[in-house]
Structure 1
């Protein structure tokens, strides 16, 4: 379950124009909420566990955001907190502090951070995560942030090609890599990587299930049924709506259970 808390601290790096464009892309009405309000809303929609993901950017200090995620996760009985790192600011020390805070892994947003997942400055992060069988959630594919603006808000999609994750998944087999948003429009590339590497997962957030390409569902129902994860992308997509549409997808019932919670339980 892929969640960002819609408070000013989580999205402070973005202009109002960019945030409004993102909400328009998802056709969503996004209102600022406190952590407590957001979690209450999630629970009311049936969410029993979720990944609490920060929103990293290009030039930022990760420490305050990691502290914030840790403080939120420590108050919750259902949140799994993730850290962020800045490859230009002591990433090895950052991830070690984050693990000491009890965070489960790292969220990378290659487009916002303008860094490929296989950038060698991130290797110390992967090395630290290898020791604890950690998880890296990587934004892959297009992005709603800046969508519809001239120049896409200045954000470049190439950073989020799934193939760059393939390079580090090969080099760090004890790290589990989650391809958030399944890499569309490079979803075939993402599927191929997941088929070839058992430490790579596909995650379905950011898309209404009825719009997810059929190819993704075919592999989710067969060869990749143990490595596909549910995700909504709250607050842009509400879990209740996602789950209602998911029930209409033609999948085996045992596969639906795996996607919704069993695969995540094994991963975390």
Structure 2
């Protein structure tokens, strides 16, 4: 079965090294490529955190990316037009397949009028807008900005934009499900729900059954498996664990859609031999 990782991160720093090690991995492209090959993963979509001025980031060819906008990369209400001009250049890069927003970590509501230049570009270039929704990894973040109900107003206000609710808005699955059911321009990625390496998977499922049962319940309630995308949030979690976990919460009849077809459709991925793992060469 072909697998597309619709949500991962890449960064050369001590933090990424540490969380990759905890997940049983190494934080480098060669190791990631090796792990992808071993698990039938053919392509990945990086959620970017590089400066906007870097309009031609040097990501491996088996990766696409969403250009990220946050306080570290230049998010500033006073210079939105200048930032939008740079986003336009990213959108003209074939490797760029979308935009990523980080509310919660940065204090803004995604329905704010100041973001309209970004949404206009997303609609014009037919690029999805992926949004961090739900819990955050930082104590300094504010959850009122990343609660999934916030996406309802943005999706209603900007109907021509395809939104991707990252992380299923966890742990607010009920609210996330309401937003998804109401808004046809919202899909979900299932990344960021696991962390580190899970030593005993059966014990994990038993211990976390309250959380997992509710997630599965809302997935079954929606019964819209064409709107859910597999993602790992690499290097946060072990890739093998994440595939196993996703198979646990998604019925087998929908695996091909969730693991690959939905991401390929939503992000308009034109996969060829050139941009899949098959052609990636490990450095000598």
- Same fold (TM > 0.5): yes
Which segments of 5 or more consecutive residues in structure 2 lack a partner in the other structure?
195-203, 268-284
Deviation at 1:55, TM superposition (A): 3.1
- Residue of structure 1 equivalent to 2:56: 67
SS at match of 1:242: helix
Match of 2:87 among 78, 86, 95: 95
Q: CA RMSD in A?
A: 2.7
Q: Which structure has the larger Rg?
A: 2
Give the whole-Å Cα distance in 2 for the aligned partners of 1:36 and 1:27. 18
2:90 is the alignment partner of 1:133? no
Deviation at 1:31, TM superposition (A): 4.5
2:100 is the alignment partner of 1:107? yes
Deviation at 1:257, TM superposition (A): 2.1
Give the whole-Å Cα distance in 2 for the aligned partners of 1:247 and 1:206. 15
Give the whole-Å Cα distance in 2 for the aligned partners of 1:82 and 1:36. 21
Deviation string for 1:31-78 (max 9, x for gaps)?
A: 542x3443343333321122111137xxxx4223x532xx21xx41x3
Alignment of 1:179-258 (within 5 A): 179-208=165-194, 210=205, 211=208, 213-221=212-220, 222-249=222-249, 251-258=250-257
Give the whole-Å Cα distance in 1 for the aligned partners of 2:56 and 2:114. 22
Runs of 4+ more than 6 Å apart: none
SS at match of 2:125: coil
Give the whole-Å Cα distance in 1 for the aligned partners of 2:219 and 2:12. 33
The number of residue pairs the alignment matches comes to 239
TM-score normalised according to structure 1 size:
0.78
